[in-house]
Structure 1
Amino acid sequence: MAGEKWTKPEAVIFDMDGTLFETDTLLVSVHERLFQTLREEGLYNQPTPPIERLLSCLGMLLEDIWRKVMPDGSDAAHRRADELMLRYELEQLEAGEGRLYPQAEEMLKKLKEHGIKLFVASNGLEEYVRGVARYKGIYDLFDGLYSAGEYQTATKVDLVAQLLKDHQIATAWMVGDRSSDVEAGKANGLKVIGCAYASYGRDTELAGADVLIAKLPEIVELLAEA
């Protein structure tokens, strides 16, 4: 922490994809199914785009994701992709696919033991964010799950601001792997912990974070030092 003393926060706010949930363990098969269905329905006639293109878009709003993943696709293809993505994600979560990052659940439980309130702030759809938490057994550890899909926020800055207001949180740490997480934390006056273990974004994604971690248990160590 470069000698800087951190204070114990009231809450820790987590991104979901690339932070708690190792999203590629779910999305690789979802991605292939989705484009196969689009072709079968006559909505998209090109080869399946590289999965890396989709993974690099994690953290964005869905409408922005499809502009980058299939810029040659029609509006109808993009809207159908929204539906298929959610359906296939939930089906495959229910089937046991996808995994949390190592020691994610243990880390969350330790933070709860220290009296920390836990939240998720994600640009994903409400059903998806809640589905991951439920199927991976961490739903009951959170004091709130906030998603752009539920609150119709244009940016994660707005989503985190809403969360802080709703729960009257004065001090919190923001934990995430994308520039949108750094921006959301900084714009709301929070300390930002950047997850350097996620490989979905560019190296510059976490510029501006107060500290970088290589694994989730380091958050508990930061708390112990606070």
Structure 2
Amino acid sequence: NARSVRGALTTEMWEAMNAAWPELKRYDGRAMDRTALNDFLYRVKEACLRFDGSAYRTMLRNDVYFFSRIGVYLERADNTARILDVKYHVLLPETVSVGGGLDYFQWASILRSVSALTAYRWVYRQSLKPWLIADLLVLNEQMPRSLASCYENLSAFLDELSIAYGRQGAAQRTARSIRTRLQNASISDIFQKKGLHEFLSEFIADNGRLGAAIAEQYLT
């Protein structure tokens, strides 16, 4: 895939990808124990950070950069929503109590997976609580992986595209609508009126519709 867009990648981005490829290729996914899996995922995160940092520091701020960041934030929002939803409905066995040791460990693991454990402790300064974790990962615009932060950036980069191409369309309107809903939401309303699972399912569907609107507006 990188070769097909080689002309859009800076030297530093290309080198970051070339360094990651042989390092990750040596892992055999069919014979990977838990230790090897943890190491593999750590290497993936490192490679992504190197590539993303290279893009941020070296790309021209033109439409290629805007599209690349839009892709980042669309996927990041989708991943954050799915990770949070999986924990809330799948991971904790029925025989294990909410708030117990396993529950606490799983919430801590979720926060680590999105590099948010330190941020949680800094913002809330108390033990892990599901509604506060949801608040951090859904509504807190200071948290880079939150849905609200992703849509703040998506709206901004889609506006940059509208300036570059001289017109706005359904993509900008959809992004603004979703961002406004996130800005006007409160975590208590999400839990009490709709339920977190329903809220996240609706968000994932809306996020997919935004991706389709972007593709139709700019790529067809």
Give the structure with the larger strand fraction. 1
Name the structure, 1 or 2, with higher relative contact order (CA <8 Å, separation 6+).
1
Give the structure with the larger helix fraction. 2
Alignment TM-score, normalising by the size of structure 1 = 0.28
